[in-house]
Structure 1
Amino acid sequence: MCGIVGAVAQRNIVPVLVEGLRRLEYRGYDSCGVAVLTNGAPRRARSVARVADLDAQVSERHLEGVTGIAHTRWATHGAPVTDNAHPIFSRDTVALVHNGIIENFEALREMLRGKGYEFVSQTDTEVIAHLIHSLYSGNLYDTVCEAVKQLHGAYAIAVVHKDEPHTVVGARQGSPLVVGVGQGENFLASDALALAGSTDQFMFLEEGDVCELTREGVRISDRSGARVEREIRTVHSYGGAVELGPYRHFMQKEIFEQPRAITDTIPASDAFEAKLFGDGASAAFDDIDSILILACGTSYYSGLTSKYWLESIAKIPTQVEIASEYRYRESVPNPKALVVVISQSGETADTLAALKHAQELGHRHTLAVCNVSTSAMVRLTEMQFLTHAGTEIGVASTKAFTTQLVGLFTLAVTLGKIRGFVDADKEAGYLRQLRHLPAALNSVLALEPQIIAWSEEFSRKENALFLGRGLHYPIALEGALKLKEISYIHAEAYPAGELKHGPLALVTEAMPVVTVAPNDALLEKLKSNMQEVRARGGQLYVFADSDTKIVNEEGMHVIRMPEHYGMLSPILHVVPLQLLAYHTACARGTDVDKPRNLAKSVTVE
């Protein structure tokens, strides 16, 4: 993985390929490359720097062609060095780019070595290129259809062959791939965003599809080899969404976009109704007796937060599982449970696999909370709640997280109403709270100067603890994740009551302890936990609601939140934690939007 762009046209396609890679930079990558067919052979440029460096190489080498493929790579097999960068060649005949992981690559590599193929990279991708070369008998499309039958694992590929200079062939299994349809030209990409400005007409390939692109048209076959037609959808350009504007980084921009994103995500309806989740939701919600939430990373923390809402508001038993663990353990399926999958991209490989596993176990009712209407996750689930965060460029998720929380809170209140636990007065109160959220968030964002002052101190640390209780424990987890993701400071989060069961041993004057302190029923318990930290010389950094009576004093640094926000308080309290991580990373000089070793859209297990 991480990003694919391909094209066949009547014009020099290299600028489109490079611009496509530039649009996919937000996903994170450690190398990039482009290959075109010219004068009967593939030529390429590759870089272990940024796309800007690749662009300079392309210009220097006068790399031009009407058919080509390009790639940004996030290393899985083999270090991020030039020999492992895509496109990968086979005998200067086949050029190929690949997202995903081929699980049986070792067996394939040994078989191909037995046929005389030499391997110059450490990638699993090289086996696909050599396999296609070994099977080729005059038709690339047929060859790829045959080759993918031997691949085990996840892949999205784009491949060209020197003997077919006006053809690009793609295939997908477990990793996204879209076809862009143009006039006298056609495109392939892992994300429609890559082709913004070139086309707004897209076909979303299904699992097992193989496609052939020529200037004249597109041919697609399914996993059985049967010719199929995929619906052409209009997806309007995201071009403006990737402009940085006056902000220093996309992450900062996206933090400040949260009031707008939440406004766009809050349902326009004056009531919490099942139809907000799709046409079949009313019947499905009447049929369920529990919730199973599957997600990864930040989305998992949004699921943990929603567990408190679902059980307290809707009184419905809720289980939250890390998607990558759920699939590989023996679980007890409950066909009457609603399976909720959460993902920003809707293409998260672990979560998609967990969803399919749940469906295979007999779970009939499924709901996706997702930011991408055309994603595989949305297409696979019975019901959907679309967040409206817009394109999120920064690898460390911010506005996707808070909009997920809005969707999950809406689900909790809707189920509470259906189950008879939310009357008309409560419903109206929850609706007022939701609609006031954007204004409340703007007040929180005004705390940025105070948080910047804290970040200077944090930038000199190598470890931090985050504490929260109850509904705010998952917010502490998310705050610790943000800090470690982009500043590379080791950070861990705990329920504050767990301090005395081990983590207190870590507390010294050198260990900052960030505490989320809303004025809720657990405040006095939290204050006792904070005193345990102070007694060991620890330095507390507290985000406290204004009426908590927590004051600045020796060892106690306090930033006051504008107001207490009840059940929706987690959405307010996570924002200063995002800002703390962001400004600490800036002070340490890290690559905020593209942190090392991470990718935005994780399409491998």
Structure 2
Amino acid sequence: MCGIIGIVSSRPVAERLIDSLKRLEYRGYDSAGIATIEDGVLSRLRAEGKLVNLVDKLDRNPRIGTIGIGHTRWATHGQPTEANAHPHQTGRLSLVHNGIIENYRDLREELEAGGAVFESQTDTETVAHLVTAQMALGLAPKEAVQNALARLEGAFSLAFLFEGEDDLLIAARRGSPLVVGDGEGEMFLGSDAIALSPFTDRVRYLEEGDLAVLTRERIAIFDAHGKPVDRPVKRSSGKPLYVDKGNHRHFMLKEIYEQPEVVGHTLGAFVDLTTGRTRLPASASIDFSTVGRMALSACGTGYYAALVGRYYFERYARIACDLDVASEFRYRESPLDDVDLALFVSQSGETADTLASLRHAKAEGVDTAAIVNVDESTIAREAAHVLPTLAGPEIGVASTKAFTCQLMALAALAIRAGVAKGRISPAQELELTRTLQEAPRLVNEAIKLESQIEQLAREMATKSHALFLGRGFSFPLAMEGALKLKEISYIHAEGYAAGELKHGPIALIDDTMPVVVIAPHDRSFEKTASNVQEVAARGGKIILLTDARGAAARIVDEAYTIVLPEMPEILTPIVYAIPLQLLAYHTAVQMGTDVDQPRNLAKSVTVE
């Protein structure tokens, strides 16, 4: 989750770039860098490690340029070295980047064939050479950037600085957030309003596909079709360390929209995106080749993530997995003699039941690992192996981005385990990790369904009960979708394995009962289709989440169908979580509940 800052001004910007990077260091601290223009010439300064190393370099090599960009990095493509640090540069431009360029390998091969010489392992440098190639054809910076953007696949935000242009910054976003700020005779851009808060309280949030052209006197914004647009000016809090909702009504919606970015960065912690090989973070040293049985445990949404994880580990690594709700783990008195690894999942790292379960496993002599979102948490400190998710602060009580980051971590770990146990060949590993790299883009595509889901929520808000059904990977999602709906809208909802429909839940179905069916066209589709027909025969109101092939099958004509992109099965839990989150969110908004702080709930449950 890298941090971006840019300033165009009439006075030196280096110190202010550094000031903003300090506020963005929570987004990444593997390396940092700035680029300015000195007498018309690009000047770059980068340092490996934490921001203090860049500050030391700047003290020895001051910069006086009045325009510049800065970056603090969480390494994804390439090791956290100075050579891979941002900004990346050619003779024509310098740029900083947050996100993942999925098709960078193909683009790099094409550019190298055309004579481009690369200095780093990153996907970012590909964009620098791609825009430079467009400028070599005679295009002006804005047109060169627009042409390059049309060829990029993935989720990203970008900021460009051009040689000889001391009054021009260009920024663009697709999937990753970016904000621009209005000053007096100077303009700003950044990853979030926190970065700009010392300089201005007037900010505009770029929308999906926007491109912004900044000069000292104005900001011009163009939409995804290249048409000029106005984005409303918002007043930020002015508090430098305040986490705000941006241009979203609630934290929960903001956090839903952050998922393309944070899912991608979590992937980068477990996969070397340059080589496509899985890896463990430095805080973990698990030898999966010796793991024959695992015990998984968590609470709430984390439990449903762990349930997906069980499917992942058993399918891709052939490791048998026990799974318990953490509040029952100790009391079931299951023998742990043959358990080689106990894995615990917690957003906060402070969940009392999960912590107690971790301590129980340690007392039984079992090796322990924890997937957590807070590095300094108690669970992170006490587990033998720490597997961090990079979701960033999650303010809304109903977990969204932490859940999908947990799923990404579990998917990558299962692949890692499969490789270690010889169940996955090197070629299969590359295929699977390249599939995982598609997640940010596909999550972004799912978010674009919001307006359709908002309309559906108007009807859902009139109901008192709902059922959620799914098979395979979609079964845990059915339970998670039901949990989301009940915890923030207060509508009673239950999630079931679709095959269990005839074993009781079908008695609840009548013409007032909405039934949400999660049915990508996967190995379970035909069986799920039969369950949908059983619901339709009894008058149930079917809401079908599927893909184009599933929609074309026309299981029943009466279903309200939401069509998601087609994707390999390993990605469906991550991507199909998005419409379920949006359905719960917009239903709760329609009902007027407190979305971010629902009644009787707390973000971190620290008592049993």
Q: Same fold (TM over 0.5)?
A: yes
Identity %: 47
* RMSD value, Cα: 1.7
Report the equivalent of 1:455.
457
Q: 2:559 aligns with which of 549, 552, 556?
A: 556
Pick from 498, 504, 507 the counterpart of residue 506 of structure 2. Answer: 504
Aligned equivalents of 1:331 and 1:271: distance in 2?
38
User: What is the CA–CA distance in structure 1 between the aligned matches of 2:491 and 2:334, rounded to whole Å?
Assistant: 36
Q: Distance in 2 between matches of 1:261 and 1:274?
A: 18
**Does the CA-based 8 Å contact 1:479-1:577 persist in structure 2?**
yes
Asked if 1:413 corresponds to 2:418, the answer is no
Name 1:372's counterpart in structure 2.
374
CA distance in 2: counterparts of 1:421 and 1:390, whole angstroms: 33
CA-to-partner distance for each residue in 1:230-250, whole Å, 9 max, x for gaps?
xxxxxxxx9657211100100
1:289-308 alignment to 2 at 5 Å? 289-308=292-311
Q: Supply the AA of the counterpart residue of 1:482.
A: K
Per the alignment, do residues 357 and 458 of structure 1 end up closer, same or farther by CA in structure 2, a change over 3 Å counting?
A: same
Offset at 1:415? 0.5
User: How many aligned residue pairs are there?
Assistant: 366
1:278 equivalent among 280, 283, 287: 283
**How much does 1:264 deviate?**
1.3
Assess, with a 3 A threshold, how the Cα gap between structure 1 residues 553 and 468 changes in structure 2: closer, same or farther: closer
Q: What are the equivalent positions in structure 2 for 1:562-581 lying under 5 Å apart?
A: 562-581=565-584
Q: Give the whole-Å Cα distance in 2 for the aligned partners of 1:335 and 1:542.
A: 41
Q: Which amino acid aligns with 1:255?
A: I
Tell me if structure 2 keeps the 8 A contact 1:466–1:479.
Answer: yes
Task: Give deviations 1:546-579, integer Å, cap 9, x for gaps.
Answer: 1112449653110111223321111011110000
Distance 1:588 1:497 in 2: 32
In structure 1, the partner of 2:353 is 350
How many Å separate the matches in 2 of 1:546 and 1:276?
A: 37
Alignment of 1:108-119 (within 5 A): none
Q: 2:529 aligns with which of 527, 530, 535?
A: 527
1:248 and 2:249 matched: yes
Q: Residue by residue, what CA displacement relative to the aligned partner does 1:391-416 show, whole Å, maximum 9, x if unpaired?
A: 00000000000000111111100000
Q: 1:458 offset after TM fit, Å?
A: 0.2
Q: Deviations over 1:235-279 (max 9, x none)?
A: xxx965721110010000000100011111112513444543635
Answer whether contact 1:546 1:564 (CA < 8 A) is retained.
Answer: no
Give unpaired runs (5+ residues) of structure 1: 1-196, 198-237
**Distance verdict in 2 for CA 1:483–1:321, change over 3 Å:** same
Report if the CA contact (8 A) 2:278-2:415 is conserved. Answer: no
Q: Quote the Cα distance in structure 2 between the aligned partners of 1:314 and 1:240.
A: 43
TM-aligned CA deviation for residue 336 of structure 1: 4.4
Q: How many Å separate the matches in 1 of 2:488 and 2:354?
A: 23
Correspondence list, 1:156-555, <5 A:
242-267=243-268, 269=272, 270-273=275-278, 275-276=280-281, 278=283, 280-282=285-287, 285-334=288-337, 336-363=339-366, 365-548=367-550, 549-551=552-554, 555=558
Q: Please tell me whether the aligned partners of residues 518 and 544 of structure 2 are also in contact (alpha carbons under 8 angstroms).
A: yes
CA distance in 2: counterparts of 1:485 and 1:409, whole angstroms: 26
The 1-side partners of 2:384 and 2:518 are apart by 36
- After TM superposition, the score normalised by the length of structure 2 is 0.59
Equivalent position SS for 2:412: helix
Tell me the secondary structure at the aligned position of residue 415 of structure 1. Answer: helix
Give the match's secondary structure for 1:281: coil
d(CA) in 1 for partners of 2:536, 2:497: 17
Greater shift in the superposed pair: 267-276 or 506-515: 267-276
State the Cα distance separating 1:335 from its structure 2 match. Answer: 5.4
Deviations 1:408-446 (A, max 9, x none): 111100000000011111111111111111011111111
Q: Distance in 1 between matches of 2:592 and 2:284?
A: 49
Q: Measure the CA separation in 2 of the matches of 1:470 and 1:459.
A: 28
| Residue aligning to 1:175 | none
Find runs of 4+ consecutive structure 1 residues off by over 6 angstroms: none
8 Å CA contact 1:261, 1:389 repeated in 2: yes
Per-residue deviation, residues 450-502 of structure 1 (Å, max 9, x unmatched): 10110000000000000000111000100000000000000001111111111
**What does the per-residue CA deviation read over 1:266-293, in whole Å, with 9 as the maximum and x for residues that have no partner?**
12513444543635323xx333211110
Cα offset, 1:329, TM superposition:
2.1
The equivalent residue for 2:604 is 601
* Equivalent pair of 1:313/1:421 in contact (CA under 8 Å): yes
Q: In the alignment, what sits opposite 2:9?
A: none
Question: What amino acid does structure 1 have at the position aligned with 2:347?
Answer: Q
Instruction: Kindly provide the amino acid, as one letter, of the partner of residue 376 in structure 1.
Output: T
Whether the 8 Å CA contact 1:259–1:441 is kept in 2: the answer is yes
For 1:258 and 1:419, the matched residues in 2 are separated by: 31
Q: Please list the CA deviations of residues 55-106 of structure 1 after superposition, one character each: whole Å capped at 9, or x if unmatched.
A: xxxxxxxxxxxxxxxxxxxxxxxxxxxxxxxxxxxxxxxxxxxxxxxxxxxx
Would the alpha carbon gap of residues 598 and 239 (structure 1) be closer, same or farther in structure 2, given more than 3 Å must change?
farther
CA displacement 1:203-224 (0-9 Å, x = unmatched): xxxxxxxxxxxxxxxxxxxxxx
| Whole-angstrom CA distance in 1 between matches of 2:433 and 2:256 | 23
1:277/1:470 CA distance change after superposition, 3 Å:
farther
Instruction: Evaluate the alpha carbon distance shift between residue 589 and residue 415 of structure 1 in structure 2; reply closer, same or farther with a 3 A threshold.
Output: same
Aligned-partner SS, 1:266: helix
Letter paired with 1:358: A
The CA distance in 1 between the partners of 2:568 and 2:512, in whole Å, is: 32
Question: Is the Cα contact below 8 Å between 1:458 and 1:584 reproduced in 2?
Answer: yes
Distance 2:338 2:363 in 1: 11
Mapped to 2, the partners of 1:273 and 1:554 lie a distance apart of 43
Contact 1:241 1:390 in 2 (8 A): no
User: C-alpha separation between the residues in 1 aligned to 2:489 and 2:425?
Assistant: 45
Is residue 277–residue 383 contact of structure 1 (8 Å, CA) maintained in 2? no
Between the aligned partners of 1:331 and 1:424, the Cα distance in structure 2 is: 36
Contact 1:538 1:555 in 2 (8 A): no
- Runs of 5+ in structure 2 lacking a partner? 1-196, 198-238
For each residue in 1:150-172, what CA deviation from the matched residue of structure 2 results, as whole angstroms up to 9, or x when unmatched? xxxxxxxxxxxxxxxxxxxxxxx
Amino acid at match of 1:599: A
CA distance in 2: counterparts of 1:319 and 1:239, whole angstroms: 45
Query: CA 1:520/1:409 → structure 2, altered by over 3 Å: closer, same or farther?
Result: same
Q: Given that residues 327 and 357 in structure 1 are in contact (C-alpha distance below 8 angstroms), is that contact kept between their aligned partners in structure 2?
A: yes
Partner secondary structure for residue 452 of structure 1: helix
TM-score, structure 1 as length reference: 0.59
Which digits, 9 at most, give the CA deviation of each residue in 1:506-527, with x for residues without a partner? 0001000000010111111111
Residues 295-328 of structure 1: CA deviation (Å, up to 9, x unaligned): 0000000000011110010001011110110111
Amino acid at match of 1:252: L
Change (3 A) 1:274 1:447: closer
